[in-house]
Structure 1
């Protein structure tokens, strides 16, 4: 039985979330590298089995949203957690700077196009939450680039966006698309070490951009933006899971356990055969065996 319980690190909107009081490290859930690999492999297999059942049941879907500061480990965590999950039932989408076409639509439009089908898991690397993170920290984006009528941009614009997002997630839940929201909470010190590693290690240079340093200068603004959105958009149906991210192995185990528990909570099963199906299948076996004899 796993030592990790997803309910220990989620926030459902009850109370007041304060990011400065939230830990970025926890006691390790694994004894050593070997134990970590064993636990992760078991969780990967469990997620694969549950996703296969969801695919066969074909009623539920799941949207997994990853949000984090740069270098928190989103990409590697997605890769490791879903490594053993069948690719036909799982897909990923990474949101970058909006295109001119996307800016000519409402801000949820590009996310709606990427939503999962029933029976599938869709993983978002960043998401519609960028609209109350990057756009809030750099509000010139809203004023100068998003083509929103200026009459609609007032002191309540962020509250309206929080409300839109909660309504959107309720809409998904009402239609059988479960939303799992993961905030990988890395400390400023650990982020700094990882950014320096990207510079010092040639194979990681491609990950580093000068803009990372510029954005790091807005650390406190981003922390406040995360605190605001988590308080405003955490609900019983779609809580935020606050995952300490300074230790990547611990983080991956916590993420995998969270997704496993979310899948286990779904009332699903493999389709049951009709009453006469066993005899029909037996007849098919006889036909196949007869075909083998002919060849």
Structure 2
């Protein structure tokens, strides 16, 4: 694989997902890719320690993709070398009763990473313009004023929701959150292969749900919604990256490398200087310890 240029995978609007590859040719074995990932994530882990010490930025990593795209395993492998105090993962499921009593962005605001840390959203606030757009009846559960029937949910509703999401991301970016949004671009054929693997392997069967097949029948609807969401919300301060996801080791490496190379461009993220009084007596402190 040639030296990675993160801009190669940054969404260039307008995106056409049907013409965007789900696989990258690089002629490297799985073991080689795993080794490349290991080296990259170690360096990324060191950078996270500096981010923590610096304490002025936070990093939000948003991961979206169809079922079986590899979100869970990717998070496990990419962030394996992080200090546990420096990263927190949130997997957003169906909203709870409490969450439905607030606006749809409320639970995402609560989960935002504090300064000096990484936050990973496994499925994100974009579910509210993806799943709900494919299944608009879900919107009724939000108990919104003036939305009493699916027929009340028109294009103006979605225009407003995209505006709200752009506003949410702009606000947190202006207040020190560095945003990455990754779409794991999986082919329909590869999803079929992974679903069959779940059914064939006893230790994977617990992951399967008949609902997976129902959602698969709506593949084209989801692709249209993803494409529209990416085209409406990919901004310089909150870019989308289209990650070919048919090969899991490559997808993991690409995300780790994009995170690392992009974070390196923030040359103001450095360790804070040592207190002058401590620095003036550092030899004395070292001598004291060595004499014990």
The answer, yes or no, to whether TM exceeds 0.5 is yes
Aligned to 1:258: 258
Aligned to 1:23: 21
- Structure 2 distance, partners of 1:219, 1:67, is 15
Is 1:67 matched with 2:64?
Answer: yes
- Cα offset, 1:255, TM superposition: 0.8
**SS across alignment from 1:270:** coil
Aligned to 2:289: 288
- Structure 1 distance, partners of 2:30, 2:21, is 23
Residue ranges of structure 1 left out of the alignment (5+ in a row): none
- Cα offset, 1:284, TM superposition: 2.2
- Structure 2 distance, partners of 1:256, 1:18, is 24
Aligned to 1:102: 99
Judge conservation of contact 2:61–2:180 (CA < 8 Å) in 1.
yes
Superposition pairs for residues 1-295 of structure 1, below 5 Å? 3-11=3-11, 15-28=13-26, 31-142=28-139, 144-150=140-146, 153-266=153-266, 267-290=268-291, 292=292
Per-residue CA deviations over 1:64-99 (Å, capped at 9, x if unaligned) read 000000001001111111111111101101000001
- Structure 2 distance, partners of 1:123, 1:190, is 25
Judge conservation of contact 1:5–1:257 (CA < 8 Å) in 2.
no
- Cα offset, 1:236, TM superposition: 1.4
- Structure 1 distance, partners of 2:77, 2:3, is 19
Residue ranges of structure 2 left out of the alignment (5+ in a row): none
- Structure 2 distance, partners of 1:25, 1:2, is 15
> Please, which moves more after superposition, 198-207 or 253-262?
253-262
Judge conservation of contact 1:59–1:176 (CA < 8 Å) in 2.
yes
Computed over aligned residues only, the root mean square deviation of the Cα atoms, in angstroms, reads 1.6
- Structure 2 distance, partners of 1:226, 1:154, is 18
Q: How many residues align?
A: 287
Judge conservation of contact 1:51–1:263 (CA < 8 Å) in 2.
no
- Cα offset, 1:153, TM superposition: 4.4
**SS across alignment from 1:150:** coil
Judge conservation of contact 1:180–1:262 (CA < 8 Å) in 2.
no
- Cα offset, 1:2, TM superposition: 6.5
- Cα offset, 1:264, TM superposition: 1.1
When the two structures are superposed, what TM-score results if normalisation uses the length of structure 2? 0.94
Judge conservation of contact 1:45–1:84 (CA < 8 Å) in 2.
yes
When the two structures are superposed, what TM-score results if normalisation uses the length of structure 1? 0.93
